[in-house]
Structure 1
Amino acid sequence: MHNPTQAYGKTAKVVANPREHEANLLTKAAQQLSAVKDPFEPRSDKFRDALIYNRKLWTVFAGSVTGDDNPLPDQIKQNIANLGIFILKHTVSVQASPSPEKLDVLISINREIAAGLYQRPA
């Protein structure tokens, strides 16, 4: 499935742990971005699709966290929303001037957030 919005909605219904589900989606996005880093072919469909998937995933995250019904503390909501904005801007930068090094930021953020989500809250 290439649409993260559909993947999120369908899988969230059957996954008992939403944190793990979100971590899995971020890990998938990081893997897709890593796969297009070497060999680096910025004109390929695979490259474009990896960026689109990551952008849509972060659009969903940023949108869902800002809702009034989201139980997260306001500071965490704001941080996730700001991170989403950064990801979207950085993605535009990657598209405008592609380089494999620019993918590192997106890959790293996805992996770090996923690692945090995989950890059990205290």
Structure 2
Amino acid sequence: MTLSSSLAYAQPTAPIRTPRMAEYEVIARITQRLVAADRRGNEDHSGLLEAVFHNEKLWSTLAADVAEPGNGLPEALRARLFYLYRFTADHSRKIRQKTADAGVLIEINKAVLKGLRGEGAAT
């Protein structure tokens, strides 16, 4: 076996990403942006609005997915995730109106991340 053929069968350096891992990465990245923007607060309101927009887009996508008849998640979990989308949309509006901060959105995302890691139910 030559060196090039043995490299072809070597272990890949990066693990294969599952759909769950990909979801986790997206939610974690958006949550990190929310945390950073929330810390900057009024110093960078446009940055906060951008982070909130991306978070709302994420939750809109999740809501559309759980609303699909073929979604394999349990019905109760689907309903809770859809409720979180509605709450997120409403709270995002309050952030745009400068009557709320992003803290609760960050906590929701962190709870979902814990659920994806298997550390507890996403509520």
TM bucket (normalised to shorter chain) is 0.7 to 0.9
Unaligned runs of 5+ in 2: 1-15
Q: Which residue of 1 aligns with 2:108?
A: 109
Q: Among the aligned pairs, what percent are the same residue?
A: 25
Partner amino acid, structure 2, of 1:87: T
- Cα-Cα RMSD: 2.1
Aligned residues: 105
Give per-residue Cα distances to partners, 1:3-23, cap 9 Å, x unaligned: xxxxxxxxxxxx641122111
Taking structure 1 as the reference length, what is the TM-score of the superposition?
A: 0.76
Q: Which residue of 1 aligns with 2:3?
A: none
Q: Which residue of 2 aligns with 1:8?
A: none
Partner amino acid, structure 1, of 2:94: S
Offset, 1:42 = 6.7
SS in 2 for 1:41: helix
Offset, 1:110 = 0.5
SS in 1 for 2:41: coil
8 Å contact from structure 2 (residues 37, 44) kept in 1: no
Q: Which residue of 2 aligns with 1:23?
A: 24
Unaligned runs of 5+ in 1: 1-14
4+ residue runs of structure 1 moved beyond 4 angstroms? Answer: none
Q: Quote the Cα distance in structure 1 between the aligned partners of 2:36 and 2:55.
A: 13
Higher RCO, 1 vs 2 (CA within 8 Å, ≥6 residues apart) = 1
Taking structure 2 as the reference length, what is the TM-score of the superposition?
A: 0.76
Which runs of structure 2 are paired with 1:40-59 in the superposition (5 Å)?
40-41=41-42, 44-59=45-60
